[in-house]
Amino acid sequence: MSKKEFVVGLDIGTTKICCIVGEVVDRGPYPKIDIVGIGTAPSSGLRKGVVINIEATVESITKAVEESELMAGAEISTVYTGIAGGHIKSFNSTGVVAVKDKEITEQDVQRVIDAAKAVAIPLDRETIHIIPQEYLINDQGGIKDPIGMSGVRLEAKVHIVTGAVSSAQNIIKCANKAGLNVAEICLEPIASSEAVLCQDEKELGVVLVDIGGGTSDIALFKEGAIVHTGVLAIGGNHITNDIAVGLRTPQNEAEKIKIRHGCALTSMVKPDEMIEVAGVGGRKSRVLSRRLLAEIIEPRVEEIFSLIQREIMKSGYQELLSAGVVITGGATLLEGMPELAEFVFEMPVKRGLPQNIGGLRDVVNSPKYATGVGLLKYGARNLAKARFPIREKNIYDKVRGSMRNWIKDLF
């Protein structure tokens, strides 16, 4: 896949699994990508962003991948995939080193990042990302790329994202069982930010809120760098559950009602609007007011936004987010979401759509594809330094083959 300059984003979500194939038309710091294939399948093997059933997840991945392969006319072997869930924890760290030859080299940058990441992490957790925020040379800050500059003391501020080892391994295992290699795992809000945020927003200070089925992901940016990330185990499925209980209707019907008639603000619904609600266990369907539906949805959405607001306040950057809030993800398609978000956050809010892509962009022009497109963009940017596990596997096979022959000769 890498030879043809194809890159594949696999979004393994709680409600859907989405595989998007892109062709890298132009490499560079901001690669140009044409979407050439997309496949989606309902997801039943995850809960709150974490794999709970490997077989069901593998089946859904296989369906989504086959669909995208047919559309793209290419065989998929390597993917970039996302990770989320309540187990994700992040923090900022600092490292300092002395510069050997007065001029900063790549080795010095690597040493200072190694110094910054030298923090104690529990054995059941692993580092997913180490993202440099800024470098300081002799206490002079705001430097993005220090290579070639002169100085005697180099300091790095980095953002470290960690997750449960088992959760990351289960995602890789599911992809491997579906016949795919995972080039890299990316935190989902970081991927979504690649798709929906522009550089100006990141410089001014912005918070990205990606509300999916099982999780709400948060990423804060200031001066072009990521300063805080978080994942809350609450999302669109909670709204569906409330509708199912409140209207006494099956889960799948509740999901359809939410998509078709849902509104996050009661004040936006006319009093005379009516909807048909299917009964449970063969009971007759009923006609109810749409306003009743909005009265069920609004408190839950307000709760989700309030929890996100608390996470933003905890980061300490609340006063520095001049560009406001960008909401994305499938759950934000609900009518009235941006208006209610503005009321809770007391900041300007917009709905984020995937930007700066070519090809089948009309097909993916929806907040629910933000993570999938973001994984593509993340993959395209890291294509040159991608680690493809298939190479390691080949070396392992060679060694194993040599050992087998040696044992045969011996006995």
How confident is the model over 95-120, as pLDDT tens digits?
999 998 889 999 999 999 999 999 98
Q: Which of 143, 163, 183 is the last residue of a domain?
A: 163
In a domain, 28, yes or no: no
The answer to whether 23 touches 9, Cβ cutoff 8 Å, is no
pLDDT band at 387 (very low <50, low <70, confident <90, very high): very low
Residue 394 pLDDT more than 70? no
Half-sphere exposure of 213 (CA within 13 A, CB side): 20
Domain count, the chain: 2
pLDDT in tens, 317-352: 888 899 999 999 999 999 999 999 999 999 999 999
In a domain, 213, yes or no: no
> What's the confidence (pLDDT) of residue 111?
93
Residue 192 pLDDT more than 60? yes
Which CATH number does the domain housing residue 105 bear? 3.30.1490.110
In a domain, 157, yes or no: yes
In a domain, 276, yes or no: yes
Other beta carbons less than 10 A from residue 145's beta carbon: 10
pLDDT band at 194 (very low <50, low <70, confident <90, very high): very high
pTM: 0.86
3-state helix, strand, coil in the chain (%, to 5): 40, 30, 30
Alpha-carbon torsion, ordered 314, 317, 322, 325, to 10 deg: -30
In a domain, 80, yes or no: no
Percentage of the chain lying above the pLDDT 70 cut: 92
> What's the confidence (pLDDT) of residue 142?
87
**Mean pLDDT, to the nearest integer, of 153-165?**
94
The answer to whether 320 touches 222, Cβ cutoff 8 Å, is yes
Lowest mean pLDDT among 183-192, 329-338, 402-411: 402-411
Residue 400 pLDDT more than 70? no
In a domain, 139, yes or no: yes
> What's the confidence (pLDDT) of residue 406?
54
pLDDT higher at 5 or 349: 349
Q: Which of 163, 179, 199 is the last residue of a domain?
A: 163
Domain that holds residue 129: 89-163
Instruction: Answer positive or negative: Cα dihedral of 391, 393, 397, 403.
Output: positive
Q: Which of 130, 163, 196 is the last residue of a domain?
A: 163
In a domain, 78, yes or no: no
In a domain, 360, yes or no: no
Which CATH number does the domain housing residue 241 bear? 3.30.420.40
Q: Which of 279, 341, 281, 337 is nearest to 309 (CA)?
A: 341
The span from the CA of 401 to the CA of 178, in Å, is 25
pLDDT higher at 229 or 392: 229
| 289-294: long-range contacts, CB 8 A cutoff, minimum separation 24 | 290/261, 290/263, 291/266, 292/246, 292/247, 293/243, 293/247, 293/257, 293/261, 293/262, 293/263, 293/269, 294/262, 294/263, 294/264, 294/265, 294/266, 294/268, 294/269, 294/336
The span from the CA of 268 to the CA of 110, in Å, is 54
Residue 397 pLDDT more than 60? no
Residue 398 pLDDT more than 50? no
The answer to whether 263 touches 297, Cβ cutoff 8 Å, is yes
The span from the CA of 241 to the CA of 335, in Å, is 18
Percentage of the chain lying above the pLDDT 90 cut: 69
Which pairing describes strands 50-51 and 46-47: parallel, antiparallel, or unpaired? Answer: antiparallel
**Mean pLDDT, to the nearest integer, of 77-100?**
92
Half-sphere exposure of 2 (CA within 13 A, CB side): 18
**Mean pLDDT, to the nearest integer, of 59-83?**
93
